Structure 1
Amino acid sequence: MKPAILLALSLGAISATSAARADILITPSFIINIEEECAVEYRVCGKVSYTGTSKKTGQAIVLRGKTVEGKCDENSFCEFEGYIFRNGTTVYRVSSEGKLTVSQGAKTLVEEKGVWQ
């Protein structure tokens, strides 16, 4: 789970009825804003937006995607892995650890580690 969500949950800052949550990932080449449009009580969210802005050119791309979960334990708690977004044949993955991977088929176009803000 992203550090901002953990902090907000521990402080009670986000209510179960909140409409959106946002986090920013800073990589060497991009500023990525991720916004989930699902209430906190939903572990899986199919309404996630990605706005990626190039630090070099200032150009931005806006995509829609969803959360990705990994293995679940016996209590049905599933590990949050990150997000996935698609733009035609290009796939954008943002991991919970802050890794951005952009690929087309088997070809990796971008792979950068960032820091969540």
Structure 2
Amino acid sequence: MNHLAPALAFAAAMAVPLLHAATLDTRTYTVEITPLCGERVTDCEQFAYADTHKRTGSQLNMVGKPAQRPCPPGNAPCNPMGWQFYDGNTSYFVGQDGWLIVTKGSKTTLREQGAWRER
């Protein structure tokens, strides 16, 4: 059995742009990312973010764009891509690698890794 196949499939999936809605499930949130461009657009620059807190049911909706993952100093290389969204001074980064990182000002308030599922 080829143990490299799952890693190669994951790498190939991350190289393909998000062309339709995908959902990230973390321990605390369900986050749906939806491109706001036509189906034939391969370099979409506008995405919708909709999260639901699993315990409280509270929801948040935003519009954002593709972004580079925030990297702590000394942790290079750090190049996974994702999407960046803002609600006032709070930023939400959703990584293609499954990370949800919420930063308020300069303080990270949430850092959870989840699993992607397509709708």
How far apart are the structure 1 equivalents of 2:26 and 2:112? 6
Number of equivalences: 96
Structure number with the higher strand fraction is 1
Q: CA deviation at 1:4?
A: 8.5
The code of the aligned residue for 2:22 comes to D
1:27 aligns with 2:37: no
Change (3 A) 1:64 1:91: same
Change (3 A) 1:106 1:2: farther
How far apart are the structure 2 equivalents of 1:52 and 1:2? 26
The alignment yields a C-alpha RMSD, in angstroms, of 2.7
**Any gaps of 5 or more consecutive residues in structure 1?**
10-19, 71-78
**Any gaps of 5 or more consecutive residues in structure 2?**
1-10, 70-78
How far apart are the structure 2 equivalents of 1:5 and 1:116? 15
How far apart are the structure 1 equivalents of 2:91 and 2:41? 27
How far apart are the structure 1 equivalents of 2:15 and 2:28? 24
Change (3 A) 1:58 1:30: same
Instruction: Indicate the residue corresponding to 1:14 in structure 2.
Output: none
Runs of 4+ in 1 over 4 A off after TM superposition: none
Output one character per residue of 1:69-111: Cα deviation in whole Å (capped at 9) or x when no partner: 58xxxxxxxx870000000100000011010000012101110
Whether the 8 Å CA contact 2:80–2:97 is kept in 1: the answer is no
Task: Tell me the secondary structure at the aligned position of residue 28 of structure 1.
Answer: coil
Task: Tell me the secondary structure at the aligned position of residue 3 of structure 1.
Answer: helix
TM superposition score normalised by structure 2: 0.69
Instruction: Indicate the residue corresponding to 1:3 in structure 2.
Output: 13
How far apart are the structure 1 equivalents of 2:80 and 2:41? 13
Output one character per residue of 1:11-63: Cα deviation in whole Å (capped at 9) or x when no partner: xxxxxxxxx610000000000000002245432x3320000100010111001
